[in-house]
Amino acid sequence: MTRRVSRYVVMGVAILALLSMGYLAFGQQVNKNLHPNLAAAQNLIERAIKRVSDAQQANEFDMGGHAAKAKALLDQAYEEIKLAALAANKG
């Protein structure tokens, strides 16, 4: 029973990781010509999410949910950077 639950947890986290990577791949990126620093920050977030995903795989996703939470927060930061660029464009 425990092994079955662990398998479902691993599958759930893997699906969440794929969805978050898909969001970043297709999400609106900041225009690097208008806001080079914000675009660079988004790029670093993309790289950080990739590295966290790599760590999850290396540890067979057994990270107590902390890696998934970190990726969710990185997704939120990515979105906030986009909103910052939009606000700067209005100003």
Domain enclosing residue 72, as ranges: 2-90
Number of structural domains (the chain) is 1
List the single range of 18-27, 30-39, 41-50, 52-61 with lowest mean pLDDT: 18-27
Cα–Cα distances in Å, from 73 out to 11, 36, 49, 80, 90? Answer: 20, 22, 10, 10, 26
What is the reported pLDDT for 62? 86
> Degrees (nearest 5) of the Cα angle 55, 73, 4?
50
pLDDT band for 22, please (50, 70, 90 cuts).
Answer: low
Mean pLDDT (whole number) for 37-43: 97
What is the average pLDDT value for the chain, to the nearest integer? 85
Q: What is the pTM of this model?
A: 0.70
What is the reported pLDDT for 91? 81
